[in-house]
Amino acid sequence: ANRAMFEAKRDTGTSHRYFSSHFAQAGGRQLQLEAELRDALRKGELELHFQPRVLINGRGVAGVECLLRWNHPVRGRVAPDEFIPAAERSGLIVPIGYWVIEQACMRLREAAVLGYSELVFAVNLSFRQFHDRRMTDTMFRIIYNANIDTRLLELELTESAMMHDPDYAQRCLRELHSLGLSFALDDFGTGFSSLSHLQNLPISLVKIDKSFVQRVESDEDAQHIVSAIISLSHSLRKKVVAEGVETAGQLAFLSALKCDQIQGYYYARPMPWADLLDYLEGPHRIIAARRGGH
Ligand code: C2E
Ligand code: MG
Ligand code: MG
Ligand code: MG
């Protein structure tokens, strides 16, 4: 089926050539990107970076989000927004996604050995990955082999990934939750979701999309939306992370609303593993994640 979809995409790509050279070029680039991405895993060109998630009261780092980077030999570092869509379309996101989980588990174990025994590792799961037929089995196998504290592994899903088939989502999340994993709702506010389904799913955390966060200083509507998301989430007993916090003003606003955690350039950008270890040992050292109680 993946193959068929890939061929179908290829057909669409070629037929465009007759109508518009612009589309033909874009289509050609897409195909080349997909072909190169196919090799990227094997050639070791993929890498995880880690962005700290900081407790709002400044008591330390509660966790890190694992973010995929592609170090392309010619193009340089390719941003995920550029290649994740291609990986989704071609189905490559499935093997890549499992590689990401394996890497995250490996770092999680390393962190535990270093004494960061409460540091949460969050991994993004895209639509196609989540709907892979063998998702829960494969996840189970990876986690079992990695021998990690499953309480510390969190999966980030978007509203659309979960709402496409709420019954399926319910079943998968319950199964994975029974292994100890937890779930975050990513980019909240940008998709469509049914609150009743949200309430029924074992989601412990809501991440407010950065498009709202970055407007709270200038846009009153964004303030109301952020405020509503925080109070709704809290009333459903879910923690809230604000994404994309860049300024002291945004931080002050979120702090006043009792948002639980902050993720953004204001504190730290995504960074390679070695830099993260330096960051954790630096002036921001993570008392909370080391001793527990986040
Ligand atoms: P996301 O899951 O919403 O991740 C947060 C994005 O916001 C990251 O972009 C991060 O670098 C960026 N960000 C964090 N703080 C700030 C800030 O203060 N300002 C700004 N302007 N941006 C900030 P990134 O790393 O480029 O990733 C983009 C998206 O690609 C992610 O959005 C996620 O949807 C996807 N992605 C990344 N890694 C993976 C992966 O391993 N698997 C899958 N399926 N998707 C991934
Ligand atoms: Mg995310
Ligand atoms: Mg997000
Ligand atoms: Mg996003």
Tell me the helix, strand and coil percentages in the chain, rounded to 5: 55, 20, 30
Q: Whose CA is nearest to atom 20 of ligand 1?
A: 244
Confidence of residue 285 (pLDDT cuts 50, 70, 90): low
Cβ(84) to ligand 1 under 6 A?
Answer: yes
C-beta atoms surrounding 231 within 10 Å? 13
Starting from the CA of residue 156, give the closest ligand: 2
Q: What is the overall mean pLDDT for the chain?
A: 87
Which ligand 1 atom sits closest to the C-alpha of 97? 42
Starting from the CA of residue 208, give the closest ligand: 3
Distances (CA, A) of 187 to 148, 207, 210, 291: 27, 6, 7, 29
For residue 189, the model assigns a pLDDT of 84
Cβ(36) to ligand 1 under 6 A?
Answer: no
Q: In angstroms, rounded to a whole number, what is the distance separating the alpha carbons of residues 243 and 265?
A: 9
Tokens coding 101? 């989980």
Q: In angstroms, rounded to a whole number, what is the distance separating the alpha carbons of residues 89 and 49?
A: 23
Residue 292 has pLDDT above 70, yes or no: no
Residue 118 has pLDDT above 50, yes or no: yes
Could you report the per-residue pLDDT of 11-50, keeping only the tens digit for each?
443 333 333 344 445 667 788 888 899 999 999 999 999 9
| pTM across the whole model | 0.89
For residue 4, the model assigns a pLDDT of 45
Could you report the per-residue pLDDT of 59-100, keeping only the tens digit for each?
789 999 999 999 999 989 999 999 999 999 999 999 999 999
For residue 58, the model assigns a pLDDT of 73
Mean pLDDT of 172-186: 95
